[in-house]
Structure 1
């Protein structure tokens, strides 16, 4: 699946597609949450576009940039989980594991 395909599915808030690698799952979760923030007015297009660029570049980002992106997504997912979004809780666990791995 290309990143463009991931973005399209994420934009529509679809469940995580089967068969994605862990990196692709992280990218999907991050893109879906950024799009949700954009749709809700939490962030605007000028904020969303650069973040989506970072999500696309995630596999090639330096560790410090990976951690920053993951921290941002983790915080949003925790907030969503606090509002009762059960899927956000599971997604936040995947992001937390990636944050730990990015520390090394």
Structure 2
């Protein structure tokens, strides 16, 4: 993923690059839906959610996620929760509000 900024208009354009191992061609798109077609649902959700996590952490926003564990393994879910729980990462006091069917995730929370 890369971004381009037009200094005159201050418009950011995100460019997605996807290249598979041993493939000669690279898939390039400015719309995530094009790239998403080639990815598993978990990978696509990870990319989308990670971008939103970064925005929330940067701005101190509140992020709502229904069924946080959907399409993720436990390590990825814990990683997202830890980003919000770690005061060294979450310097702007962003909040994560989520629902889950995995009650064992609650053991990781203070």
Q: Which bracket does the TM-score occupy, shorter chain normalised?
A: 0.3 to 0.5
Give the TM-score taking structure 2 as reference length: 0.34
Normalized per residue, the structure richer in strand is: 2
- The higher relative CO (CA closer than 8 Å, separation ≥ 6) is in 1
Q: Which has the larger radius of gyration?
A: 2
TM-score by length of 1: 0.36
Normalized per residue, the structure richer in helix is 1
